[in-house]
Amino acid sequence: MNKKILLGPFKQILPMTGLSLKGALVDSALPIYEDAGILITDGIISALGTFNELLHQNKGIEIFHLEGDHVALPGFVDSHTHICFAGSRAKDYALRNAGKTYLEIAKAGGGIWDTVTQTRKASQSELVKHTVKLANRHLKNGTTTLEVKSGYGLTLDEELKILRAIKEADVNTSADLIPTCLAAHMLPRDFEGSATDYLEGISTLLFPRLKEEKLTRRIDAFIEESAFSKAQIAPYFQKAREMGFDITVHADQFTSGGSEVAVAYGAVSADHLEVSTQKEIEMLAKSDVIATALPGASLGLGCGFTPARHLLDAGAALAIASDHNPGSAPMGDLLTQASILGAFEKLSNAEVLAGITFRAAAALRLADRGQLQVGYLADLSIFHTNHYNEILYNQGNLKPCMVWKKGELAFNKN
């Protein structure tokens, strides 16, 4: 028996369809359904159109009737987070604001290593609980799919613990969690050997386990002076590619170089890019790599934003993600951060909304979400307002009043 439900009427539905994956977008290109409804069959969108027509064509089915003005968008996709961790780094934040740099704190034993120490002490079930709590907060704020990285374990067993926790958390939240292995986050301070030895050990011992346990299909690395160099990461990515993993890169955050590796290895995305120059921008724009801005990291560190305007003008595909993590990006509010990036970088509403919907879905290679169209998941972010412009204008302060995930009501403010 099919479960059918008609949802509406909406003042506006923004399906985010028919827009190019790459390059600049103008608001006038946004398709809009007015006085519209969405027909959902078994969690999948089966029709979109005028509410009254859908009502007429589907007599007798269940109706979820909306009172007042509502605007529907695709459920947001956050393609870069680190929400599986333990502990706080409020101390780092205070130190940074008192003048210490992120790299100075890292060198003194704080930074990522601090979270590694705290996460290693946590049990798998504690990590599951915390990850579910954060994922549910994102879900309430309209994000129905979140990527979640490991990278706070940095040994074979500890990375496995985190990736198993992400898998278990996925079962315990309505949001979809997409796991990524970030064992190449930094060289663990307690590892006896070189960076090359560490990466070699991870790729030969951990990669096959990831496949066996179906823990992830994505491999990430932090290419940076404080983490791994281009030369060190080359054989690691080579191995990942041979084994059929998708590659993604923490690139050009403090020093450039990572985006070049992303392009060379056909990465699905290059994320951060705060210090990318015209050379890197053009290289990314010519490639199929999705350039991902992480305004939450700029806000957390108090540094410049990714040159999003230049990336789009050069023809790149721009996703926007929260980078939610305890160190550089503790806020974890995608809509607020994307709105602020839009204001600073002069992005159209279409570009910002594309960055947190279908362009982010492409960065995760998910072809069933990020747009509202027949055959796609009924993942919806619904706002109590009469015009989509109000959403980014409120800079994150207008939260969704309702969130649907796979045709089920996952959050309802009323």
Q: Which residues here bind Fe ion, judged by CB under 5 A?
A: 323
Q: How many residues make contact with ligand NIG (CB under 6 A)?
A: 14
Pick from 384, 386, 389, 387: nearest CA to 412? 384
The listed partner (ligand NIG, Fe ion, none) that binds 307, CB under 5 to 8 Å by sort, is none
Residue 386: φ, ψ to 5°: -105, -5
Amino acid in position 410: A
How much of the chain is in helix, strand and coil states, percent to nearest 5?
40, 20, 40
The listed partner (ligand NIG, Fe ion, none) that binds 253, CB under 5 to 8 Å by sort, is ligand NIG
Question: What is the smallest separation between the CB atom of 207 and ligand NIG, expressed in angstroms?
Answer: 21
- By the 8 A CB rule, do 72 and 10 touch? yes
How many Cα neighbours within 13 Å face the side chain of 89?
31
Question: What is the smallest separation between the CB atom of 296 and Fe ion, expressed in angstroms?
Answer: 9
How many Cα neighbours within 13 Å face the side chain of 360?
34
CB atoms within 10 A of CB 171: 9
The listed partner (Fe ion, ligand NIG, none) that binds 328, CB under 5 to 8 Å by sort, is ligand NIG
Tell me the C-alpha distance between 114 and 105, whole Å.
10
Question: What is the smallest separation between the CB atom of 180 and Fe ion, expressed in angstroms?
Answer: 10
The listed partner (Fe ion, ligand NIG, none) that binds 75, CB under 5 to 8 Å by sort, is none
Show the site string, 135-174: x = touches ligand NIG by CB under 6 A, - = not. ----------------------------------------
Amino acid in position 364: L
- By the 8 A CB rule, do 209 and 225 touch? no
Pick from 81, 84, 78, 79: nearest CA to 268? 79
Question: What is the smallest separation between the CB atom of 298 and ligand NIG, expressed in angstroms?
Answer: 10
Amino acid in position 177: L
Point out which span in 25-33, 107-115, 119-127, 162-170 binds ligand NIG (CB under 6 A). 107-115
- By the 8 A CB rule, do 71 and 387 touch? yes
Give the residue with the Cβ less far from ligand NIG, 25 or 329.
Answer: 329
Show the site string, 268-307: x = touches ligand NIG by CB under 6 A, - = not. -----------------------------x----------
Residue 295: φ, ψ to 5°: -60, -25
CB atoms within 10 A of CB 324: 30
Question: What is the smallest separation between the CB atom of 250 and Fe ion, expressed in angstroms?
Answer: 5
Give the residue with the Cβ less far from ligand NIG, 216 or 349.
Answer: 216
Asked if residue 222 binds ligand NIG (CB under 6 A), the reply is: yes
Q: Which residue is nearest to Fe ion (CB)?
A: 323
Show the site string, 231-260: x = touches ligand NIG by CB under 6 A, - = not. -------------------x--x-------
Q: Which residue is nearest to ligand NIG (CB)?
A: 327
The listed partner (Fe ion, ligand NIG, none) that binds 218, CB under 5 to 8 Å by sort, is none
Show the site string, 305-334: x = touches ligand NIG by CB under 6 A, - = not. ------------------x-xxxxx-----
87, 92, 179, 383 from 98: Cα distances, Å: 21, 10, 35, 39
- By the 8 A CB rule, do 332 and 134 touch? yes
Residues in contact with ligand NIG by the rule CB under 6 A = 82, 111-112, 115, 222, 250, 253, 297, 323, 325-329
